[in-house]
Amino acid sequence: MLEREQKYYTDHRDELRKKYLGKRIVIEGDQVLGVYENDMEAINAMTAAGHKLGTFMVKYVPVDPEDETLRIYSPFAYV
C-alpha cells in the first residue's frame, strides 16, 4: 500500500528535504498535493478536497533524516 508514493519520496528525497524541511507533505502518486504543519491539518484538507483515506501519504520531512517514519491512515481507524 502506497508503495508508489514512498518510492516517489525516496527518489526525490534530497529535493523534497530542501523545499519542505520540518513540514508534512501529502503525496499521491508521483506528486506533492500539499504542505502542512501537522498530520491532522493534512488529512482534513485532503479529505475535504475529496481524497479518500488510504489513497495518499502524509510524510513528515524531518530535520534529522534518521527520524523518518511512514504514516498510513486507514479509513477503518476512524469508524
How many folded domains does the chain comprise? 1
Per-residue pLDDT tens over the stretch 39-56:
999 999 999 999 999 999
- Phi, psi (degrees; rounded to nearest 5) at 40: -65, -35
pTM of the model: 0.81
Residue range of the domain that includes 70: 3-78
Closest alpha carbon to 17 in 57, 59, 70, 72: 59
Tell me the one-letter amino acid at 49: A
Per-residue pLDDT tens over the stretch 7-46:
999 999 999 999 999 999 999 999 999 999 999 999 999 9
* DSSP state string for 20-32: HTTSEEEEETTEE
